[in-house]
A and B are shown apart, each in its own frame.
Chain A
Amino acid sequence: MADSTLNPRTLTLTILIVVLFTCGMFWLNRSDIPLGYTRYENYGFSLVYPKLMYLRETGLPGIGLGSDPSDFVGLVQCQSYWDNKLDVFEIIWLVKNRASSAQSELDEFLAAISQPNSVVQGVSEHFMITPHGEEVDCTYFELEEAGNAFSGIIGVIYRSWSSPGLARVYFVAYVTLKGSATEEQIRASFQAYLDGFSIQKPE
């Protein structure tokens, strides 16, 4: 028994309606967040990161700055350990008196996190990365902690704070297992995460 409604004219019309409806839905649901990623927003910045990464917020008790994050100090860390590949991207923010330069701020921070059980080594020459036109003063580093060796990049970004003479400083870092990636790969991963990082409007 043939179905007389199943003819080229009705089929074309049906497919046209489906295509138009789907295009409309696609338009209505367009998003600037790529598939598989999600957005974190707080403490004056936003970060688009892979959904499967584990994100945690904390203070900086390791350097004596409190165990809970606040507007003044904190750490947001995204981490994945998958297929023997470690990926960590972290953002640390501090409110402090304006430093003389981003470079000195970065050196001071690296010295502060160097402790007997967490040794920062092999800091390279400083270099500049400019995602979204933002200047990020960066350096490669190596870290030994609890018998594990890591390598990565850390950069610093300045933002003026509402009170005169104060600044909010963002340290952004990418860390992976030492030997699992070349310097170029580390820089490419860092830049990929940095592309998803943006500081919200100046305060």
Chain B
Amino acid sequence: MVLMAWDHVSGFWNQMHGGLEGIYPARDPALDTVGFLSRFITHWCAPTFVFLAGTSLALSTIRRLGGGESQRDVTLHILMRGLILVALEWLIVSPAFDLPLFNVQVIGCIGFCLVVFSLFRLMPTPAILGASLLILLNRQWLDLSWIPSTPIGIYIRALINEPLIMGGPSTVIYPVLPWLGVMGLGWVFGVYLAGLEPERVTGLKRPLAFVGAASIILFVVVRYFNGYGNLVRRWSDSLLDWLYVSKYPPDIAFFLWTLGGMCLFLATAMIFVERGWQRNRIVAAVTTLGMVPLFFYVAHLWLYRLRLPGQPAPFYLDLPQTAVAWLVGLVILWLACSKYEVIKRQHPRLLQYL
């Protein structure tokens, strides 16, 4: 989440910040190595966000069902939460990015994924795993050209599988289908976690580290062969071309790198927990941000944007100045998130969807 904040503050205030990887078929030559990498490190955010959304959905669903709630109530709860996220995207997030009303980015995409998951979750876990893997490995071949090229048709195609930044009624850079696959994997992980004794959870650090390392090795293999799994060609052997993968839409190379990295981060987090390092003040502050992710997301956008919708930036910052703005913003957000976390604990029903 702090990396995501870095991405957004840079997008708002630093003209030399990259983006739209995949929509642009090759990297921006104007970006130097530091500029490129300062964007590249933020690729971990969205896949981790969506994967863990699936994990927490599984854990909360199992807890609700175990607490006696009916399948119908759980479905309605997930559906409602999904629709609220879509509404938040359209009414609060899109204006922060100066994007049109029906724009879909990560929050809206998670919302649509939840709408699908309100029923998808009823399938057996191995079927969810199989369907998720099939989506991730095969969606590049999905042909939606049979949908009429009317404004609504174009928007529906974008919403399903094909990002759209121009020529349609709105913009969609997070099509639902590939991210549904990621949420499905997160769901399966959550179901697996729910079956573990709490004290055995940190024992997952080795398998997670192994899966993470294997994913990153597979990333190298996929980029080396420069065919299946890449939506953006590796145009040269330079490091930056190796790392320039498609995020919009996400390709297999992108997911291997980012979900592999996420597994390594999770393994590291488990080592932190085992050694009691989570009580360190900085780790505890970051954890506070993670306890109220949606609040953080909405708040950080408007805090870092710091201007009204439609207003261009009055000036731009260079990289070090952007870093200072990012750190100052994180301190303010930590204070706000700490307060909100207390309020949320005091009013769990009132804020259950947020």
Interface residues of A (CB under 8 A from B): 1-3, 5-6, 10-11, 13-15, 17-18, 21-22, 25-26, 28-29, 34-37, 50-52, 82-84
For B124, list chain A residues within 8 Å (CB): 5
Q: How many A-B residue pairs have CB under 8 A?
A: 69
The one of B65, B126, B228 that contacts A6, using a Cβ cutoff of 8 Å: B126
The one of B25, B125, B141 that contacts A36, using a Cβ cutoff of 8 Å: B25
The one of B25, B66, B126, B137 that contacts A10, using a Cβ cutoff of 8 Å: B126
For the complex formed, measure the closest distance between the CB of B160 and the CB atoms of chain A, giving whole angstroms.
Answer: 17
Query: 9 tightest CB-CB pairs across the interface, nearest first?
Result: A36-B233, A2-B195, A83-B29, A14-B130, A10-B126, A18-B133, A22-B137, A14-B126, A52-B25
Known: A3-B194, A15-B130, A22-B137. 13 other contacts (CB 8 A): A1-B62, A2-B194, A6-B191, A11-B129, A14-B127, A18-B137, A28-B141, A34-B227, A35-B230, A35-B233, A36-B233, A36-B235, A50-B235
Bound-complex Cα distance A113 to B66 (A) = 82
Which residue of chain A lies nearest to B65 when distances are taken between CB atoms in the complex? A1
Bound-complex Cα distance A12 to B326 (A) = 46
For A29, list chain B residues within 8 Å (CB): 141
The one of B26, B66, B127, B191 that contacts A82, using a Cβ cutoff of 8 Å: B26
For B235, list chain A residues within 8 Å (CB): 36, 50
For the complex formed, measure the closest distance between the CB of B136 and the CB atoms of chain A, giving whole angstroms.
Answer: 9
Task: Judge if B226 is at the interface, Cβ distance under 8 Å.
Answer: yes
Task: Judge if B204 is at the interface, Cβ distance under 8 Å.
Answer: no
The one of B26, B65, B228, B230 that contacts A26, using a Cβ cutoff of 8 Å: B228
The one of B62, B134, B194 that contacts A22, using a Cβ cutoff of 8 Å: B134
Q: What is the predominant secondary structure among interface residues of chain B facing chain A? A: helix
Bound-complex Cα distance A140 to B235 (A) = 26
Bound-complex Cα distance A11 to B125 (A) = 10
The one of A3, A21, A26 that contacts B191, using a Cβ cutoff of 8 Å: A3
Task: Judge if B71 is at the interface, Cβ distance under 8 Å.
Answer: no
For A84, list chain B residues within 8 Å (CB): 29
Bound-complex Cα distance A50 to B232 (A) = 11
For A34, list chain B residues within 8 Å (CB): 226-227, 233
| CB within 8 Å for A5 and B233 given contacts A82-B26, A82-B29 | no
Q: Is there contact, CB below 8 Å, between A21 and B230? A: no
Q: Is there contact, CB below 8 Å, between A51 and B25? A: yes
For the complex formed, measure the closest distance between the CB of B150 and the CB atoms of chain A, giving whole angstroms.
Answer: 26
Task: Judge if B138 is at the interface, Cβ distance under 8 Å.
Answer: yes
| CB within 8 Å for A35 and B227 given contacts A11-B129, A52-B26 | yes
Bound-complex Cα distance A104 to B60 (A) = 80
Q: Is there contact, CB below 8 Å, between A6 and B226? A: no
Bound-complex Cα distance A37 to B227 (A) = 11
Q: Is there contact, CB below 8 Å, between B138 and A25? A: yes
For B137, list chain A residues within 8 Å (CB): 18, 22
For A52, list chain B residues within 8 Å (CB): 25-26
Bound-complex Cα distance A6 to B126 (A) = 6
Q: Is there contact, CB below 8 Å, between A14 and B129? A: yes
Which residue of chain B lies nearest to A51 when distances are taken between CB atoms in the complex? B25
For the complex formed, measure the closest distance between the CB of A18 and the CB atoms of chain B, giving whole angstroms.
Answer: 4
Bound-complex Cα distance A36 to B233 (A) = 5
